[in-house]
Amino acid sequence: MSPVELSSPCVSTYTCCVWVFWFVGLNGVFIMHSTIRNINFNYEKIIIGSSLNALLYSFLNNIPFVYVNIDPPHRFDHFSPEQDLSFFGLENNSHILVSPTSTKIIGSNKDILWEKLYFYLTLAGLNPVGDKASSIKVGDKELKVFTHKARMAKINFEELIIFTDDGVSGLPTPAQLPEKKYKVYDWFDVRSGMKHEYDYIEDNTGLVSEILFYPTDRVDGNQTYKDAVSISYLTEKQLNSFDYSDINARFKTLKMMKGAGIRGARNGRDMLNKSRYKYYAVKIENSLREVECLGKSVYESTDIIKFNTDSFDDIINNTQLVGSYVSRIF
């Protein structure tokens, strides 16, 4: 069967071959099996990455993007209260967080903008592979994108903009390797001590430098009961040491919660003083350890391959919106 070429006047052309096979099943039922081969996309520019910065760059410049591992902002990543989001049709709502010793103001969650950008970019056809890629290989003005089901799409380009090398091979040797440091999230289910006024506790040391409290996801419609997550900044050696394990993170989290005056559920009145209440001890259980690598390899850009390390503000301030389909429907 000869290839069928389909084209889009906006951003790309692609070619594919489709084979359709019919066979009779054991029960005499006809079953159709189809496979797609030789998918070719042609773009002037293509982005590798799915972070907020990558999607913002894609939106402003009308450039398609591909990725291996989806990279939304973390649940606790917020904009600064001063960030203006009206350009995206969003309102930056500020919130006051309370700790035993201080308060701080944060803006809206970054994932609100990320989700909107991802939806409209996909709707506009700028996410050609979606979440199907398992690896990407960079060649001479071409990308080979392999899917989880052993399919391959080839993307021809004139310029490649890379925001991440995660799952990407065929890149030049890094000019500088990162120092291996990790941001570690230890998630806890709070079994006793879920009701209190605090949003965070700070310690500013390596293991459990901060504890964040958030409305538990284990109770539908909950607004008052809180679970906890501790944040630690560790080296690779510390990450592999028992002294910095999730067990010891739990012990330190308990100590910090008790030191902040957080108590467990009420347990009746004091028999010797009826005006006083007794409380159970704070009880937490390890739920999950999440490890995020902070360092990134540093590459030197070429005429064809550009490595983009700009911040969100840099991209906003230095890029003018290109008139396109996605900018009209956004």
At 33-86, the pLDDT tens digits run: 445 566 899 999 999 999 999 999 999 999 999 999 999 999 999 999 999 999
The candidate with the shortest Cα–Cα distance to 186, out of 323, 280, 292, is 292
The yes-or-no verdict on residue 288 having pLDDT over 90 is yes
Checking 232-236 for CB contacts under 8 A at 24+ apart, the result is: 232/183, 232/184, 232/186, 232/206, 232/207, 232/208, 233/181, 233/182, 233/183, 233/184, 233/206, 233/209, 233/294, 234/181, 234/182, 234/184, 234/206, 234/207, 235/180, 235/181, 235/182, 236/180, 236/181, 236/182
Rounded distance between C-alpha atoms, residue 9 and residue 158, angstroms: 17
Phi, psi of 241 (to 5 degrees): -100, 140
pLDDT at 151 over 90: no
**Which residue shows structure tokens 């956004």?**
330
User: What is the pLDDT averaged over residues 133-160?
Assistant: 94
Instruction: Look at residue 19 in the predicted model and tell me its pLDDT.
Output: 39
Report the pLDDT value the prediction gives residue 198, as an integer from 0 to 100.
Answer: 97
CA distances (Å), origin 127, targets 30, 37, 93, 250, 315:
34, 19, 29, 41, 20
- List pLDDT tens digits, range 193-239: 999 999 999 998 889 999 999 999 999 887 789 999 999 999 999 99
Whole-number mean pLDDT of the chain? 88
Q: Which of 146, 177, 166 minimizes the C-alpha distance to 54?
A: 166
Does 185 score more than 50 pLDDT?
yes
Q: Please tell me the least confidently modeled range out of 5-19, 44-58, 280-294.
A: 5-19
Give me the mean pLDDT over the 106-130 stretch: 97
Instruction: Look at residue 192 and give its three-state secondary structure.
Output: strand
The helix or strand, by DSSP H or E, that contains position 111, with its residue range, turns out to be: helix 110-123
Predicted pLDDT at 37: 63
Q: Is 261 helix (H, G, I), strand (E, B) or coil?
A: coil
Query: What are the structure tokens assigned to 178, written together?
Result: 């990162």
Query: Which H or E run includes 214?
Result: strand 210-215
Which residue would you say has higher pLDDT here, 223 or 116? 116
Measured in whole angstroms, the distance separating CA 57 from the mean position of its chain's CA atoms is 16
Average pLDDT over residues 9-34: 43
Q: Residue 251 in 3-state DSSP?
A: helix
Considering Cα of 153, then 154, then 158, then 160, what sign does the dihedral take? positive
> CA-CA distance, 45 to 74, in Å (whole number)?
28
Full-model pTM: 0.86
Number of H helices, E strands in the chain: 6, 20
Using DSSP, state whether 227 is helix, strand or coil. Answer: strand
Binned at pLDDT 50, 70 and 90, residue 273 comes out as: confident
